[in-house]
Amino acid sequence: MKRKPDAVFLDRDGTVMEDAHYIKAPEQVRLLPGAARAVRRLNEAEIPVIIVTNQSGIGRGLFTVEEYEAVRAHFESLLRDEGAHIDASYYCPHLPDKPLIGNCRKPGTVMFEKAISDFKLDPANVAYVGDRWRDVIASKKLGGRGIMIESSETTNDDRQRARADGIETAAGLSEAVIMLLDGLTDVSSKS
């Protein structure tokens, strides 16, 4: 029997909701098919679900922190409407081409390390799920299990790097959650 993960880190855009590029308004939020059910399955298994997302639109001046927070609140409300919830969200507002001291942008591990500390997690027993290599490579740097899912934003470079790094792959979030929960005897099977 496998040990259930202490937490699952999920990328947001392209993993749980559609990636509409620089979403600044709540009405732009669209959950991906099956995403709420997948998150709910993790909730039912009593596994914390933590969003870790790059939001360079803030650094680019395309939207404000307040607009990001309104989108986040609506996103979480849509999940709650379907019986699912997020335990915490971490975001990085920095630009990809402007590395700064303390830049928290993925593929860096700063946001993951903060969540691991905040939730007192065993880094060897967490999972990272996202649609880009940068979302899951922390599994090789910090420990744990990485699963890269397919989305319209997943590039051939992402796929090649994931293969080279021994990262598991799944067709989508629902399949990734099945992979994480398969073989656990203490997991609810409610639908």
Query: What's the rounded Cα separation, in Å, for the pair 176 and 127?
Result: 10
Please say if the pLDDT value at position 2 is more than 70. Answer: yes
| Omega prior to 107 cis, within 30 of 0 | yes
SS (H, E, C) 103-124: CCCCCCCHHHHHHHHHHCCCHH
Please say if the pLDDT value at position 185 is more than 70. Answer: no
Q: Is 148 helix (H, G, I), strand (E, B) or coil?
A: strand
pLDDT reported for residue 190:
45
pLDDT reported for residue 100:
57
pLDDT reported for residue 99:
59
Strand partners, 92: 54
Q: What is the mean pLDDT of the chain?
A: 93
Query: Looking at residues 130-137, what average pLDDT do you find?
Result: 97
Instruction: Find, among 188, 181, 190, the residue nearest to 4 by Cα.
Output: 181
Decide: residue 90, CB within 10 A, 0-12 exposed, 13-18 middle, 19+ buried.
Answer: middle
pLDDT reported for residue 95:
86
* Higher-scoring residue by pLDDT: 86, 191: 86
Query: What's the rounded Cα separation, in Å, for the pair 112 and 147?
Result: 15
Q: Which residues are catalytic?
A: 11, 13
Please say if the pLDDT value at position 106 is more than 70. Answer: yes
Query: What's the rounded Cα separation, in Å, for the pair 41 and 164?
Result: 30
* Higher-scoring residue by pLDDT: 152, 76: 76
pLDDT digits (tens, 9 = 90+) for 165-178: 999 999 999 999 99
